[in-house]
Amino acid sequence: PQDSEKAKTFVHAFLKRSMPKMKDEAIQDMLTRKAVVLEHYPKKKAKQKRKKTKGFTAKQRRELRLFEIEPEQQRYAIFLPLHELWKQYIRDLCHGLKPDTQPHVIQGKLLKADLHGALVTVTKSKCPSYVGITGIILQEFKHVFKIITKEDKLKVVPKLNNVFSLELDGFISYIYGSKFLLRASERSAKKFKLKGTIDL
C-alpha cells in the first residue's frame, strides 16, 4: 500500500538524520528487525579547571608587614584580655586544673597548647640579659617568642638556650626552648617524648 511506502521512506530518512555516522546498509539492516534502538551522541563538555586559591608567600607577608605590631598597639594593657582568654582556654583544656591532677598530664597538654596570650618569664638563659623578662606572648614563631612586657616594651626572645616558666592556678610549668623549636601548628601534631635530656 502507498501509506506503508511513505512510512518506510519516513523512517529511513529519520534514521539517517538521527544516526548520521551509520551507512545506508546498516540502516537498512536495522529496518529488517522488529525493534529499532536509536543511539544518541552527546557533545562532550569541556571540563572547567578549578583555580586553586594561593596564599601569600613569605616574601609577600614580609612586604605587607602582616606580622608586625604597630608601635601604638604595643601596650601591655591591650593584651590583658587575651591573657584572661588564654587562662580560661587552658583550664578547659586541662579540665579545671584540679589539685589532684597529675603534673605530667598538664605538661603533656601544655606542650601542644596554643601559647598566644600566655604570661611567661625567662628563668634561665645563656645570655644573662634575657633572664627576668616577663610578659604576654603575642606571637610564636619557629625560633622566637614575641613578648610584650608590663613596661610596654616588645621583646623578641629566642627559644634556643632559654628556659621559660609559666604559672597558672598554682601550677608552674617550664618550657625548654631548645626542645621547642617548632611552629605552633607543628607542635599540635608532634609527639613529644616524656623523658629526655634537659639542658639549655
pLDDT at 22: 72
pLDDT at 136: 95
Read off the pLDDT of residues 143-195 as tens digits, 9 standing for 90 and up.
999 999 999 999 999 999 999 999 888 888 888 888 888 888 787 777 766 55
Among 68-72, 136-140, 149-153, the minimum mean pLDDT is found in 68-72
Fold of 72-189: SH3 type barrels. (2.30.30)
Sequence-separated (6 or more) residues with CB below 8 Å from residue 118:
83, 86, 136, 137, 166
What rounded mean pLDDT belongs to the chain? Answer: 81
Residue 199 vs residue 157, higher pLDDT = 157
Among 45-54, 69-78, 107-116, the minimum mean pLDDT is found in 45-54
Among 61-65, 89-93, 140-144, the minimum mean pLDDT is found in 61-65
**Quick check: 34 pLDDT over 60?**
no
**Quick check: 67 pLDDT over 80?**
no
For 54, which DSSP code?
P
Distance (Å) of CA 83 to CA 62, 74, 95, 173: 27, 15, 18, 16
Domain ranges of the chain: 1-33, 72-189
Distance CA 112, CA 110 (A): 5
pLDDT at 42: 67
Look-up of cell digits 583555580: 51
Q: What is the mean pLDDT of residues 132-141?
A: 93
For 151, which DSSP code?
T
**Quick check: 29 pLDDT over 60?**
yes
Read off the pLDDT of residues 73-105 as tens digits, 9 standing for 90 and up.
889 999 999 999 999 998 888 877 777 777 777
Q: Indicate the pTM of the whole model.
A: 0.65
Distance CA 48, CA 106 (A): 51
Q: What is the mean pLDDT of residues 32-54?
A: 65
Element holding 41 (H helix, E strand): none
pLDDT-derived band at 133, boundaries 50, 70, 90: very high
